[in-house]
Homo-oligomer: A and B are copies of this chain.
């Protein structure tokens, strides 16, 4: 054993090509050691439990279990691990999701190896790293929008989802096992919360702003 403290890293990404890139990029640095890889969130949990890394590089867009969910689950069991979100796009919502899940860093995949390594060392030391794009997106998200539709209740979302599918009030009532009067009440509330003139606009807004899933 040469150095007493190499930073142990796990790379999580569903794309083999990306994992290769990380693998070889990190190889050039003596103080870093890639000790595991995973292709989705579930696998990440298994691998991390086993190899106990210091830092986890986590892709956000993955099948099965998404990056945010995986990060949250991982940190619940291993609060000492540092997660850096690595992603392709700089949507404001994604950034917030990741940080809220407990990621200490957020980088775009177009970072160079050196910058990535800096972020890894920083994370290991407990310092956060945000890519400029992510920081900008975060700032923008913090300023402008009460983010349309964030104040919808769970029930209202259910109603909205059915509404988007073209269901009428009575159909919605049937599916949810409630009175059609109640449905109308919910729809009315939804319209005012979304500032929509009618259900057509509400449906359009729901899709446009990804209010469902």
Contact of A25 among B20, B39, B163 (CB under 8 A): B20
**Complex interface residues of chain A between 107 and 160 (CB less than 8 A to chain B):** 108-113, 116
Q: Is the interface of A mostly helix, strand, loop or mixed?
A: helix
Which of these binds chain B: A30-38, A47-55, A68-76, A193-201?
A: A193-201
A110 contacts B39, C-beta separation under 8 Å: yes
Q: Give the residues in chain B near A204, CB-CB below 8 Å.
A: 164-166, 203-204, 206-207
Contact of A166 among B14, B198, B207 (CB under 8 A): B198
Closest to A171 in B: B197
Chain B proximity of A123: nearest CB distance (Å): 16
Tell me the bound Cα distance from A133 to B149 in angstroms. Answer: 35
A183 contacts partner chain B, Cβ-Cβ < 8 Å: no
If A24-B24, A110-B39 touch, does A164 touch B201 (CB 8 Å cutoff)? yes
Tell me the bound Cα distance from A163 to B17 in angstroms. Answer: 42
Contact of A19 among B21, B163, B167, B168 (CB under 8 A): B21
Q: Which 3 A-B pairs have the closest CB atoms?
A: A166-B201, A21-B21, A166-B197
Q: List 7 A-B contacts (CB under 8 A).
A: A17-B21, A21-B21, A21-B24, A164-B200, A164-B204, A166-B201, A166-B202
